[in-house]
Structure 1
Amino acid sequence: MSDTETIKPEAEKDFVIIVNGQEKTVPSDEVTFDKVVILAFGAVDPNTVYTITYRHAKAPEHEGIMVEGGIVTVKERTVFNVTATTRS
């Protein structure tokens, strides 16, 4: 490492996560419900209900269901599965 390189604290480094089977890069170790939906579908549709499950996250909860408004602390290659259901 050269003198000009700096080491970002973990909360400020980029993380590769997996969203619906695709690698995505996020700029910190915390991702919001809306951010995961946007990574999966490009936008949040108010007429759609989203279900998000995750695994391989950073402690204390390594896996679970993400609720609207929630935040998950990720580590490299945390996996998110996002499904969308149109409200009827």
Structure 2
Amino acid sequence: MTADAVAEKDTKHYEVVVNGRTKIVTTDELTFEEVVGLAYDPVPSGPNWVFTVTYRRGHGNKPEGTLAPGESVKVKKGMIFNVTATDKS
């Protein structure tokens, strides 16, 4: 088995739902910015855009909540993220 095959086999995959669409992530933690990137491609940009990120079905100590810019949350299979973009213009 090649080193790449071993690395891929050892990589964890989490199936999460972002804005109603199933996504596969390979990290144990997702940041606010990463979740926004999963929700929007391309991510709307400009000074008036504000994003709200909520999640549920998370880990036992904090199964639901919100993420603010710069924050992160541990990923769990089946987590549900909702991302809302608002243009305050």
Q: Provide TM-score, normalisation by structure 2.
A: 0.80
Structure 1 residue runs of 5 or longer lacking an equivalent are: none
User: Which residue of the partner structure matches residue 23 of structure 2?
Assistant: 24
Aligned residues: 82
- 4+ residue stretches of structure 1 with deviation over 6 A? 4-7
User: Which residue of the partner structure matches residue 33 of structure 1?
Assistant: 32
Structure 2 residue runs of 5 or longer lacking an equivalent are: none
User: Given that residues 17 and 24 in structure 1 are in contact (C-alpha distance below 8 angstroms), is that contact kept between their aligned partners in structure 2?
Assistant: yes
1:58-69 alignment, distance < 5 Å: 58-69=59-70
1:5-84 alignment, distance < 5 Å: 8=10, 12-42=11-41, 43=43, 45-47=45-47, 48-84=49-85
Secondary structure of the 2:17 match is strand
Percent identity between the two aligned chains? 39
RMSD: 2.0
Q: Provide TM-score, normalisation by structure 1.
A: 0.81
Moved more, 53-62 or 18-27: 53-62
